[in-house]
């Protein structure tokens, strides 16, 4: 797979459609390496090379708000491949994609830990008894 660009430096529509329509191999044992090849191609095409990379089964992308990068990552996320990896979008176009089994487990644990921490903040607020006048203010 090769990503081609128009004269303005944006991915051509046919390249985006190609990414979106990629079909996983029938052999599940080949999925991880196949997905890594696709993501490696996106890393190579990334506008700011210092804002995309991989390590230990993780791919990290920061779009820096540029639509060229947004289009590339969006095409991947609309593809079948995004259904077999774990990924998170954070603020400011920051994406973490976990491909390997170990990376997916690490990401899931981090997300679970964060969610539990946030619930520990919210639950005490929701469970405390409100005085009569506080209830009116909330409504």
For 37-51, write each residue's pLDDT tens digit.
999 999 999 988 899
Asked whether residue 125 is domain-assigned, the answer is: no
pLDDT of residue 120: 81
Asked whether residue 32 is domain-assigned, the answer is: yes
Identify the CATH number of the domain in which residue 22 sits.
3.30.1240
- 102, 57 Cβ separation under 8 angstroms: yes
Instruction: Report how many domains make up the chain.
Output: 1
Asked whether residue 24 is domain-assigned, the answer is: yes
Structural domain span for residue 22: 13-101
For 62-103, write each residue's pLDDT tens digit.
998 888 999 999 999 999 999 999 999 988 789 999 999 999
Arithmetic mean of pLDDT, 21-40: 95
pTM for the model stands at: 0.81
Strand order in the sheet with 86-90: 52-55, 58-62, 94-98, 86-90
Asked whether residue 82 is domain-assigned, the answer is: yes
């Amino acid at each position: 797979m090769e990503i081609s660009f128009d004269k303005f430096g944006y991915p051509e529509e046919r390249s985006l459609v190609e990414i979106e329509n990629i079909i996983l191999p029938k052999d599940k044992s080949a999925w991880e390496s196949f997905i890594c090849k696709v993501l490696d191609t996106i890393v190579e095409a990334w506008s700011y090379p210092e804002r995309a990379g991989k390590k230990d089964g993780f791919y990290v992308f920061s779009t820096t708000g540029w639509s060229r990068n947004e289009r590339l990552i969006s095409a991947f996320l609309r593809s079948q491949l995004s259904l077999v990896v774990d990924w998170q979008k954070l603020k400011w176009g920051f994406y973490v994609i976990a491909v390997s089994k170990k990376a997916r487990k690490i990401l899931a644990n981090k997300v679970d830990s964060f969610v539990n921490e946030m619930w520990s903040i919210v639950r005490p607020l929701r469970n405390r008894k409100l005085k009569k006048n506080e209830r009116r203010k909330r409504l």
